[in-house]
Each structure stands twice: as C-alpha cells, then as structure tokens.
Amino acid sequence: MTSVRAFTVEDVHASLVEHGVPAEARTMSREKVFWSHFCTNLGPAAWVLGALVVTIGLDVRWGVLALILGNVLGALPVALCSTLGPPTGLTQIETSRFAFGRLGTRVPSALNWLCAVGWDAVNNVPSVLALVALAALVGIGLPFWLGLALLAGTQLVASVYGHHLVQAIGKYVSYVLIVVFAITGIVAVARGGSLAVAHAHVTPAAFVLAVSIIAGFCIGFAPYSSDYTRYLPAATPRATIAMLSFGGLVLSSFTIELLGLLTASRLTDVSPAGVIGSLRGLTGAFAPIALLAIAVSAIPVNSINDNTAAYSLISAGVRLPRPITAIVTGACGFALAVAGAGAFAELFAGYMVVLLYWIAPWAAIVLADWFVVRDPTAPVGRWGVGVVIFALVTPLTIVLFSATDAYTGPVARLLGGTDIGSFVGFALAGGLYIVARRRQLAAVPASAPVAA
C-alpha cells in the first residue's frame, strides 16, 4: 500500500495548501516523521559545517559542545513546529496565518521560498562535485553544469509528484546513506590524523558564532516541518511527533557534523571541492562508494526542499499549480548553484546566520500563538499583529546584534564580536507577541469576533 501511494501524485491545486489535508486522507504512519527529518541533514553540507567549527577557532572539546548545544537549540523549535501538522492539516508556513493573518503570511512565505532556492544550491554544490569526482575515477570528464542538471532533474521529478514520493525517497535512501556514511566516517577518522587543536585561545565570540551556525542549520527546517506531519491522524500524540522529529534531525546533523569536526585537521580547504578531495583521499579504496553516496544524498533533501518551496510560493500568493511552482524553484536553484559554487564556504557560513535571523522570530511568534495565546474561536483576518512584530524585530536585531564579514552591529562590537542577535530575536518576538495578543484579546468583549 505504501509503495503504491508513493507514486500517487499529490493534489496539485492551491486549495490543498490553503485548506489543508482532509481528515480522511490523514493516514500516514508515524515513523515517516523520523525519516523526513533525518534525511534533511544527511549529507556533505553537515560535514562542511563540522569542519567550519574548527576554522572558526574551536578545538575538539569546545567544538563538540558547540555541536550539542547548537543542534539542541536549533531542533527544539522544529520539533514543536512539527506538532502543528496533524491538528490543522496545514503546511508549516501556512500555519503562520493564525498569527500573521492571511495576507501577512505572504511575508514569511516569500522569505521561505527564497531560502529554499538557497538550500537547493547549498545541498547540490558538494553533491555535484562528488559526482564529477566519481566520473573522473572511471575516466569520464563530467562538466559541473551537466552533473547539476542530472541531480536537479531527479529532484524535480520527485517534487512534482509531491509529498508521498518525497517521503518515500527520504526514508529508503536514508537506509543506504546512513550505512555508507558510517563506514566513510570510520575510515576517514581512522586515517584523519590528529584531532583538531585551536591555534589560539577559544573566544566567547567564536563559540557563540559556532553555536549560531549549527543552530541555523537545524532551525532552517522549522518552516518545513509540519509539511511532513500533516498527513498524520489529528489525534496523534503531540509528544510522539515532537520526539520523532527532534530525534531524526539531531541524530543525522550531529553525527555528520562530528565526522567533519574529527577530520578537520586534514581538511585544509573547507570549500566543497576541498572537502570532497580530502574525503576521497581519506577513504582510499572505499572512495567510489563514498562519492556516490555524497552525490545521491542531495536527492532526498532537495526533493523535500523543492516540494516545500512549491507550497511556500502558493502561500505567498502565487496561485499556480504546485508542479509549476516546484519547477520554478528548481530552475532558480540551478542558476544559484552555478553562480555560487566558487564561493561556497564563505556564502554557506553567512547563509546559516541569515537563516537564523528571520526564522528565529518567525518560529517564536508562531509557537507563542499556538501554545500560549491562541484563541481557537477567533477568525483569521487579513493582517495579524504577528507580522508587525516580525517586521520590526527581524531588521532591528540584524542592525544591532549581527556580526558578519559584511557588517557588525553596535551591540556585537560592544560584546567583542559576539553575535547573539538570533537568540534575542527569538525571545523578543515571542515575548512581544504574547503581550500584544493578550492585550488585543482583552480589549474585545467575549461576544465580539476577534480578528487575527
């Protein structure tokens, strides 16, 4: 039954996003929640991230602590977001409407679509380079653009089919990838030389930046999460959903990042080409299988990515059939991957921080509305107070707290370059929303309708 449903095209109409999955279609098994979250970080981007922790200035001890703390902080909001799918039947970004309003939801929807295009490039560039390296081992000169077209085309087919095939690919490909990556990691670490040692004293700024980047990698899935839980029966226990999503996300990301951290002493170049080349040398005779796994790893995660991007574009007000929006996303991701491949490492670190800066306040508002102040009897209006708070908090925290190569805010300078803006943004946005929404509800008589 599962295999038959996987090749059934999901409803292509915008109404599925706007009105949610009907109750009779919510028959998904619980274990798929784990696999849809697990496969997202099972790839070379997480390996690069683990190596970047050392490049930032951490040794193994502080690096492992940063991995643990960053993954937990980043995965907790994702786990909570995943619980919104079964009771609403809605995609994750569409659940914003309870706090942002129907038109206000278009703001985070558009941002999420843009970030989905970025994720396409982030995931595809290392995988294409692995495919090119694999082809070279057998004497084939594969151009980057052609390797990218092969991977992107496969991902696009899956995302056009939609939710059911995307989840099936994530589950069954993960079975193979986790075994191959485990062997790759053991071989690479065994041949990887000494553990990473910081060249200077580990600074608070370096540690906080590492935690922020790791957290950004995990929390980047928050606007996707309930997309892959909304087919569960509405009565599915909330704690079960949260634990499955949290476990899948943290297990895959921490494991692969740790392998990157433990082999960082041999990764003199943390660009995708450098990492792929180092892994090829570290894995010896196992290299062809390792390269194939790295190449294939982009298929499940970008199938999910393109599929969610299609939902987000519909929520942003683009009323096109879902397959068309998936094709648009894939084409834009293809162009970005070609354009940004040469500066991947620099763009990747900055991209993780940028993700955290808008997703943290968005997630705080959505979760505060659902778990703290939501009035289920209140109708959803065109604009909600959440979008106002989001529009104020996001740029404010960027201006005051960000610490990047391009710009450092005044508070970050006072803190010696320590970037705490995303954490401030989460607490500030959530707190302001709770206060504003409670005042809004208190100001309206119980008998009167409340606009969201």
d(CA 303, CA 2): 18
Q: pLDDT by residue (tens digit) across 114-163? A: 888 888 877 888 888 889 999 998 889 999 889 888 888 888 888 777 78
Alpha-carbon span 420 to 417, nearest angstrom: 9
DSSP SS3 for 62: helix
Is residue 366 within 8 Å of 76, Cβ to Cβ? Answer: no
β-bridge mates for residue 408, sequence order: 403
Provide the percentage of residues in the chain whose pLDDT is more than 70. Answer: 89
- From residue 98, alpha-carbon distances to 63, 375, 377, 384, 437 in Å are 39, 9, 11, 8, 11
Residue 186, C-beta contacts closer than 8 angstroms, at least 6 positions apart:
none
Separation CA 226–CA 313 (nearest Å): 16
- What distance in Å separates the CA atoms of residue 213 and residue 354, rounded to the nearest whole number? 9
313 to 70, 107, 317, 381, 383: CA distances (angstroms): 29, 11, 7, 20, 18
Structure tokens at 295: 């190449």
Q: What is the pLDDT of residue 195?
A: 55
Q: Alpha-carbon distance 227 to 306, whole Å?
A: 12
Query: Within 10 A of 139 (CB to CB), how many other CB atoms are there?
Result: 6
Six token digits for residue 325: 């929006």
Q: What is the mean pLDDT of residues 36-59?
A: 85
Lowest mean pLDDT among 186-200, 222-236, 307-321: 186-200
In degrees and rounded to multiples of 5, residue 282 shows phi and psi of -70, -25
Which superfamily does 2-96+109-346 belong to? Hydantoin permease (1.10.4160.10)
The string of DSSP codes covering 238-268 is HHHHHHHHHHHHHHHHHHHHHHHHHTGGG-S
Question: Between residues 76 and 345, which one has the greater pLDDT?
Answer: 76
- Cβ contacts of 414 within 8 Å, gap of 6 or more: none
Q: How confident is the model at residue 369 (pLDDT cuts 50, 70, 90)?
A: very high
Q: Is residue 281's pLDDT more than 90?
A: no
Which pair of structure tokens corresponds to residue 42? 């099972």
pLDDT in tens, 282-305: 788 888 998 998 888 888 888 888
In the predicted structure, residue 331 carries a pLDDT above the cut 80: yes
Q: Which two tokens stand for residue 88?
A: 């609403």
Chain segment 386-435, per-residue pLDDT in tens: 999 999 999 999 889 887 767 788 988 888 777 788 889 999 999 999 99
Tell me, what's the pLDDT at 370?
95
Who wins on pLDDT, 83 or 377? 83
Instruction: Tell me how far apart the alpha carbons of residues 162 and 405 are, in angstroms, rounded to a whole number.
Output: 38
The 3-state DSSP class for residue 315 equals: helix
What pLDDT is recorded for position 347?
A: 58
Helix (H, G, I), strand (E, B) or coil at 403: strand
Neighbours of 413 (CB within 10 A): 11
Confidence of residue 353 (pLDDT cuts 50, 70, 90): low
Instruction: Report the alpha-carbon angle 107-249-405, nearest 5.
Output: 60
Q: Which tokens sit at 452?
A: 């969201």
pTM given for the model: 0.87
Q: Has residue 375 got a pLDDT over 90?
A: no
Q: Distances in Å between the alpha carbon of 444 and those of 346, 379, 441?
A: 50, 13, 6
Tell me the per-residue pLDDT of 231-262, one tens digit each, with 9 for 90 and over.
999 999 999 999 999 999 999 999 999 988 88
Helix segments in 369-420, DSSP class H: 385-401, 410-414
Least Cα distance to 365 among 316, 420, 434, 424 occurs for: 434
> If residue 419 lies in a helix (H) or strand (E), which one and from where to where?
none
SS3 of residue 222 by DSSP: coil
Least confident of 11-20, 101-110, 186-195, 440-449: 440-449
Say whether 27 sits in a helix, a strand or coil. coil
Q: Please report, for the chain, the start and end positions of each structural domain, with discontinuous segments joined by +.
A: 2-96+109-346
Decide: 400 and 409 in contact? Cβ < 8 Å. yes
Q: How would DSSP label each residue in 162-220?
A: -HHHHHHHHHHHHHHHHHHHHHHHHHHHHTS-SPP--SSPPPHHHHHHHHHHHHHHHHT
Q: How confident is the model at residue 1 (pLDDT cuts 50, 70, 90)?
A: very low
